[in-house]
Chains A and B, each alone.
Chain A
């Protein structure tokens, strides 16, 4: 074996080891959720000081008890429905506002469009943890305490800035010539926007829907601040706050809930990843 091939093999081995280590670090909590969600309690609640009991594997046969408890004995199904309802409304509001705004910034706003776009994007950086206190005053002024109305009102402030930016970036990647051709062929600007643009902008809208979906699914701060009744909670609030009954942690059911909620989000998010990344890098990366 020459030195060259040895070095090559060594490089390959390092690569696999690094890939395995990083993936393991990222995926380990999910593996733990999976194992916990299907373990029998006898297998689950064995103190970690007992070295003869290996917690990484199923020592007893797996069980669906925790999932059953989650679906029939808790408010979890309700929370899913609540979340989906709120998501639907927020997506509708976001698409209605952010898509025209993003298009306008990309195509119609001219030179101040760039600056206005960046200004809108920067509001995305204003965190909920800075705004939840003034919002709590606003919400009580409007009488929206402990109602979905408060979340439906506030969530678009999270989704609109980023989604506007997303649509703007998307439209910039679409050549102008189809729209200009339509104007020359006899359409007014308005007719172009109403009849030609919708077809062009569909992929942009799709990524807006996905981003708004994941953002609302992930949101915790506002839900924690404004929703106090268990039956009105969203998934990301209900699971960590209300599945814990007093001091009794139903870890199996908790992990089942976390797993069931996060995997679909992750799958959807993955499909649209590249477009989001493009927007996050603000043009610092030109692919």
Chain B
């Protein structure tokens, strides 16, 4: 198909030889060299401990000695028959699902609010983001004070409003304590989710929404039939991160309740810490922590699918 024009005769005088590339021109080589240190660091100090975590869960290792004996499934048998563990597993699920449900509602609402412009928006946005930036442990200690059994400002306010007649022992009663944990986790995650949803919202082309308005769609129809479906990938990202942050978090429960009262509010990370570090039973601690793995696996797979399908996302 290509017709070649008659070529010129090759240059008769042989020109000076062009210089070849040196090592400094080899992009792949340089790329490898620049990547290797980070890769090695992560592989050595995250990859190997990760495998070690699984290995330890099958061992009778303790913190006192460096012995490492095969224990088979003994650790798993022990924790599975342990009501405290089963309670912790259940609590982890309840706290994660409960807080993320709250997060979805709060973040969707907040994104709608913060899309509009109103006086004082910059300040409001800064305040909204405070919970996400503050160190978990410091936030938890503030909440512990808010939920204090004697001085709880929540109780005072409820009583002053006439809504409460008895007394709420927030951190002293298992159900209330769990509710407190859910509130704190939702409080901590929703600002982050809001910003992500907001980013998704602003990337929906304005014309699509305007077209819907011209087509006669009201606020709710626009929200449920256009915006929320288009926001699904972004919201999923926010929820996936939120799930990981919540389910694997140790700080909130550790500071707020320490797992109490009577081990009723433990989640997997705090129980793993209690058994593995405080109790020096590394094997059992590792086995407890390993129960976080299925969750992480699911999240990782969903993340990958989202990353691959970004073209169906918001554009």
Residues of A at the B interface (CB closer than 8 Å) are: 11, 15-16, 18-19, 22-23, 25-27, 29-30, 32-33, 36, 44-49, 51, 54-56, 96-98, 100-101, 103-105, 107-110, 113, 116, 118, 120, 122-123, 125-138, 140-141, 153-154, 156-157, 160-161, 164, 188-191, 193, 214, 217-221, 224-225, 235-237, 239-240, 249, 251, 254-255, 257-258, 261-263, 265-267, 269-270, 273-274, 277-278, 280-287
* A160 near B133: Cβ-Cβ < 8 Å: no
Min C-beta distance of A16 to chain B, whole Å: 7
- Would you call B293 and A130 a contact (CB within 8 A)? yes
Interface centre among A160, A240, A281 (most CB of B within 10 A): A281
Q: Point out the residue from B30, B109, B200, B289 that lies within 8 Å of A281, measured CB to CB.
A: B200
Contact A281 B45 (CB under 8 A): no
Bound CA–CA A283/B234 (angstroms): 9
Say yes or no: is B313 at the interface (Cβ < 8 Å to chain A).
yes
* A contacts with B: majority SS: helix
Please determine whether A126 and B272 come into contact, CB atoms closer than 8 angstroms.
Answer: no
- Cβ-based interface call for B73 (8 A): no
The answer to the question of B84 belonging to the interface, with a C-beta cut-off of 8 Å to chain A, is no
Verify A48–B135 contact, CB threshold 8 A: no
Chain B at the A interface: SS class: helix
Instruction: List chain B positions with a Cβ less than 8 A from chain A.
Output: 21-28, 30-32, 34-35, 37-39, 41-42, 45-50, 52-53, 56, 61, 63, 66, 106, 109-110, 112-114, 116, 118, 121, 124, 126-143, 145-146, 150-153, 155-157, 159-160, 167, 187, 190-192, 195-196, 199-200, 202-203, 219, 233-234, 236-237, 241, 244, 248-251, 254-255, 268-269, 272-273, 276-277, 282, 285-286, 289-290, 292-293, 296, 299-300, 303-304, 306-307, 310, 313-315
Q: List 14 A-B contacts (CB under 8 A).
A: A48-B155, A51-B156, A125-B303, A129-B248, A131-B53, A134-B49, A157-B42, A189-B30, A240-B140, A257-B138, A258-B141, A265-B134, A266-B134, A281-B237
Residue of A nearest to B156 (CB): A48
Give complex CA distance A237, B254 in Å: 12
**A270-B126 in contact (CB<8A):** yes
Contact indicator B47/A123 (Cβ below 8 Å) = yes
Are B145 and A160 in contact (CB-based, < 8 A)? no
Nearest Cβ distance between residue B203 and chain A, in whole angstroms?
5
Q: In the complex the two chains form, is B124's CB within 8 Å of A19's CB?
A: yes
Q: Which residue of A lies closest to B53 (CB)?
A: A134
Contact B292 A127 (CB under 8 A): yes
Q: Contacts of A45 on B, CB cut-off 8 Å?
A: 151
A136/B41 in contact, CB under 8 A:
no
Contacts known (A108-B30, A126-B50); A191 close to B24, Cβ less than 8 A: yes
Contact of A129 among B157, B187, B292 (CB under 8 A): B292
- Are A285 and B39 in contact, with the CB atoms below 8 A? no
Given contacts A48-B151, A160-B38, A214-B133, contact A133 B110 (CB under 8 A): no
| Assembled-state Cα–Cα distance A59/B214 (Å) | 55
Give the distance in Å from the alpha carbon of A3 to the alpha carbon of B112 in the complex: 23
> How far is the CB of A248 from the nearest CB of chain B, in Å?
14
Chain B residue nearest in CB terms to A26? B128
Given known contacts A26-B187, A214-B133, A220-B135, A127 and B233 CB-to-CB distance under 8 angstroms:
no
Given contacts A120-B39, A249-B145, A251-B145, 20 further A-B contacts (CB under 8 A): A29-B139, A29-B187, A32-B153, A47-B150, A51-B159, A98-B38, A116-B35, A118-B307, A129-B269, A130-B296, A133-B272, A190-B23, A258-B139, A261-B134, A262-B134, A263-B130, A282-B303, A282-B310, A284-B237, A284-B313
B127 CB contact (under 8 Å) in A23, A118, A257: A23
**Given A26-B187, A47-B151, A101-B38, A240–B106 Cβ distance below 8 Å?**
no
On whether A283 and B307 interact (CB within 8 A), knowing A189-B26, A251-B145, A261-B138, the answer reads yes
Are the C-beta atoms of A130 and B282 separated by less than 8 Å?
no
Question: A48 with B129: in contact, given A123-B47, A189-B30 (CB under 8 Å)?
Answer: no
CB of B127 within 8 A of CB of A27, answer yes
Nearest CB of chain A from residue B309's CB, rounded to whole Å:
9
Residues of chain B within 8 A of A98, CB atoms compared: 38
Contacts of A224 in B (CB 8 A): 250, 254, 273
Contact between A284 and B310, CB atoms less than 8 A apart: yes
In the docked arrangement, what's the CA distance between A186 and B114, Å?
A: 50
Given contact pairs A123-B42, A277-B199, A262 touches B116 in the complex (Cβ within 8 A): no
A255 and B142 within 8 A (CB): yes
- From residue A285, how far is it (CB to closest CB) to chain B in Å? 5
Given contacts A26-B128, A190-B30, A280-B241, contact A101 B142 (CB under 8 A): no
Closest approach, in angstroms, between the C-beta of B53 and any C-beta of chain A? 5
- Asked if A136 meets B113 with Cβ closer than 8 Å, knowing A25-B187, A45-B151, the reply is no
- What is the CB-to-nearest-CB distance from B100 to chain A, in angstroms, rounded to a whole number? 16
A19 touches B244 (CB 8 A): no
Task: Give which listed residue, B27, B192, B277, contacts A136 with CB less than 8 A.
Answer: B277
CB of A93 to closest CB in B, whole Å: 8
Among the listed A29, A108, A217, which residue makes an inter-chain contact with B31, where contact means beta carbons less than 8 Å apart? A108
Shortest CB-to-CB span from B194 to chain A, Å, is 8
CB distance from A60 to the nearest CB of B (A): 16
Please determine whether A156 and B45 come into contact, CB atoms closer than 8 angstroms: yes
Once the chains are docked, how many angstroms separate the CA of A56 from the CA of B153? 8
Chain A residues positioned under 8 Å from B219 (CB to CB): 11
Knowing A48-B156, A55-B153, say if A265 contacts B145 (CB, 8 Å): no
With A26-B128, A48-B156 in contact, do A255 and B151 touch (Cβ < 8 Å)?
no
Closest Cβ–Cβ distance, residue B237 to chain A (whole Å): 5
